[in-house]
Structure 1
């Protein structure tokens, strides 16, 4: 039940019209202005003031690098971190995705929606002003006397809720925080699309390297089959040698064809990310290496993208700029402001109103001074009993804030884990790739020696088949490691918010060359 309270000394009914000769409207207006100012000066915002949630964090990464307390700063999703990979095709694709990706467009529209909602909340701080005009013809019956008459009205009206307890201000505070959270969501969506596109593109290029590896392997196996066939015809080789050589060749050809499916799927995914239909998009494969080139040399010469030099200790500001952390922190701020909105319901609301205009039975006399009417009023309303609804809303707001704080802390911990995971992955893969490069060289040497020995008749063709299979496996593993390192580096960029500039570090030579 809502009970209005009226103070006789400071308020009049909002529906009462007074002739100007009875009271000066300017004097009444001054009184209402003084009342409004007094209400504002006495006003306070109920509810707790927001303080960023705190949590204990380590002083340094377990894997590598310094660390300090996370404090999300201004979100900037426009860092061109992908340029550190040194691939102009990748740069162009990400520029296209920034402009045409539909997920980014959706997030941008949601951000504009949040901005508009924030403006709506702030609009409640200002008075509402309206205008009306009307004309009526009515028949009245007074003491049996019927009268048909016209009436005309025109005027302005205004109303304003004095935000004594800060309910509207807390609502505007929550709206601003939600808009900032939406801005962080937009940056997160942009970063996610950029990272996904970079990973798909790099995996596609690694697939090109694998296809070229199998192309050169098929050429080598074809020569081996021709050699064994000639020796079989000359009577110096067994029929089983020819069968083994043909089996190897057909298996390599089948695996080469299978790589087309992987490449096509990655190409289709890239097309979607840049806002184009798969049928309208294609990427030319890498230029084929010479048949005499080794796999490692071919990778070093042909893969345009290179692994950026990642600092051993990432600045804490990079993690502070993670959009998802900024989003979670702003949502906690909005939830805190909503506690103030809920608690303001315990206090009365003061609404000030004013109206003025003209009212006359004759249109020609509508704007004459005797037709002038005006009204000033103030209404104080308080809820006496609501069955505990206000208490429940307050508990709900507090619980929502606790949930937002827990989500913020979990997001920070998740960000730490992602950075640690990828720092560890890159370090392990770097050591593994060095050993794998040595294994590739040893396997290629063993393959050449086995072929020479077979041609000399000192070993069976089974030795050749075994060394060729080992060499292919090691070369493909080396290419796969290169792809894993590139993908992990992109994931690390995403984990740190995409905040470092390409000019902060010089790209390393391709891992295959190392």
Structure 2
């Protein structure tokens, strides 16, 4: 009896033996799938804690006013204290075409993410079919017969190896990258609006200085012509002054032409027709904010372009896992129920009901290297995304260092030029006194006046460059320099840029 029992496996042992091999293969595939999952990536770069150009102020910079904190709501342009600038930035936010395009691309990426994620849910649908052919119904033999079906079908792919989850994660990361790019586009539009507006204001002031300079040359020419008629000067002196006057008038017209072009560019940024846009001429009263010293380099982690690059790296890594999961089988559960009949009139009768359930397993064996090529392509995309991330960080540091050095040198240049303007003004006052006392001629007085206007114009150009560099630094820092604003930027990576290369 015992021998008989030992020779005959019990029913549960037989069933276990039948399923042992498939379960073992499935377990091995799951282990391999876990091994194929890409390891976590380190996106950090080894960077200094401070910028090279961001040194402690000395000399005239040490006496500069304390820096004003940028607003926590990200409205960095309000530190310039110019209502017209604030109104223009608001108009650009509503109508700028670049922002609208970036918003549309974000909406498209989010819709694609939902579409990809839908593959993870059960799929249910209605279907109906009519087929006529020989051999459809065995009872009819080889005679042509018809088969009508109608019913409900459902399928669900078991994501045992993470292929669908990886694809969904990659699409979601792409959407987050697009969100960061939208923020970057908004920042670019805000900074471009500010720079163009400030350029218009600088050109308005420069036009006034050029008009005064032209008037001074005209007075000089009038005096020179009168002295020529009196026989005190020759024709050569008159022609020299005429040349200077014509050249100055040409420069004044060039400033007006540049002002018109900048105004047209500002209209395009605002999303308006240049024909219908005009920025009234007004005095330049925009405040120049002071930038605090000791800016931490990890503030760059909030830059939208760096955030977008990081999301692209993580999306590319997820796609590497998706490509590797193609080596494992796909398993889908299916079910359908409805009616089937060879007679259309009997299709919806209870006797024509039908149903079926099943499981489908698919594993390509020979694909001509398609899966291997897919893994290599995904890995190449990942390597490119990593290189792009490093390039974004390096470019960000360069932009910040460029603007910090520009502000430092422009501040020194402004101080020196201010001394030149003061000296020129003093020379004009002294020349006026000496002219009234008869010690010098009127030409000498006009020369002193022209020198003052020339130095004033140079000081204005330096001032305009300071404003442009300040806005460029705000953009390079990701929209300001306060810690509160860094926390209000939205779904950007918060990890500091620190280690790798």
Normalised-by-shorter TM-score class: 0.7 to 0.9
Q: CA RMSD in A?
A: 3.5
Aligned residue for 2:278, secondary structure, equals: coil
Q: Map 1:156-167 to 2 at 5 A.
A: 156-167=152-163
Judge conservation of contact 1:77–1:498 (CA < 8 Å) in 2: no
Q: What is the Cα deviation at residue 358 of structure 1?
A: 1.8
Counterpart for residue 280 of structure 1: 276
Q: What is the Cα deviation at residue 458 of structure 1?
A: 4.1
> For the structure 1 residues 265 and 377, does the alpha-carbon distance in structure 2 shift closer, same or farther, using more than 3 Å as the test?
same
Q: Map 1:147-162 to 2 at 5 A.
A: 152-162=148-158
Counterpart for residue 290 of structure 1: none
> For the structure 1 residues 399 and 93, does the alpha-carbon distance in structure 2 shift closer, same or farther, using more than 3 Å as the test?
same
> For the structure 1 residues 357 and 80, does the alpha-carbon distance in structure 2 shift closer, same or farther, using more than 3 Å as the test?
same
> For the structure 1 residues 238 and 489, does the alpha-carbon distance in structure 2 shift closer, same or farther, using more than 3 Å as the test?
same
With 415-424 and 235-244 compared, the bigger mean Cα shift is at: 235-244
Q: What is the Cα deviation at residue 239 of structure 1?
A: 6.2
Counterpart for residue 54 of structure 2: 64
Deviations along 1:112-139, whole A, 9 cap, x unmatched? Answer: 1111111111111112111113467789
CA distance in 2, matches of 1:50, 1:503: 30
Aligned pairs, how many? 446
Counterpart for residue 488 of structure 1: 469
Counterpart for residue 265 of structure 1: 261
- The TM-score normalised by the length of structure 2 is 0.79
1:325 and 2:306 matched: yes
Deviations along 1:342-376, whole A, 9 cap, x unmatched? Answer: 11011111121111112235566545443221111
CA distance in 2, matches of 1:456, 1:244: 27
CA distance in 2, matches of 1:470, 1:426: 26
Judge conservation of contact 1:356–1:374 (CA < 8 Å) in 2: yes
With 191-200 and 149-158 compared, the bigger mean Cα shift is at: 149-158
Judge conservation of contact 1:77–1:191 (CA < 8 Å) in 2: no
Would you tell me which structure has more helix in proportion to its own residues?
A: 2
Q: Map 1:56-95 to 2 at 5 A.
A: 56-64=46-54, 79-95=74-90
Counterpart for residue 103 of structure 2: 108
Q: Structure 1, unaligned stretches of length 5 or more?
A: 1-8, 11-34, 67-75, 287-301, 505-514
Counterpart for residue 398 of structure 2: 417
Judge conservation of contact 1:214–1:256 (CA < 8 Å) in 2: yes
Deviations along 1:314-343, whole A, 9 cap, x unmatched? Answer: 245642211110011111001110110111
1:126 and 2:121 matched: yes
> For the structure 1 residues 150 and 238, does the alpha-carbon distance in structure 2 shift closer, same or farther, using more than 3 Å as the test?
closer
Q: What is the Cα deviation at residue 426 of structure 1?
A: 0.6
Deviations along 1:260-311, whole A, 9 cap, x unmatched? Answer: 110000011011111111101111112xxxxxxxxxxxxxxx3121211211
Counterpart for residue 96 of structure 1: 91
Q: What is the Cα deviation at residue 147 of structure 1?
A: 7.4
Q: Structure 2, unaligned stretches of length 5 or more?
A: 1-14, 17-22, 57-70, 486-501
CA distance in 1, matches of 2:354, 2:391: 62
Judge conservation of contact 1:205–1:303 (CA < 8 Å) in 2: yes
CA distance in 2, matches of 1:433, 1:375: 85
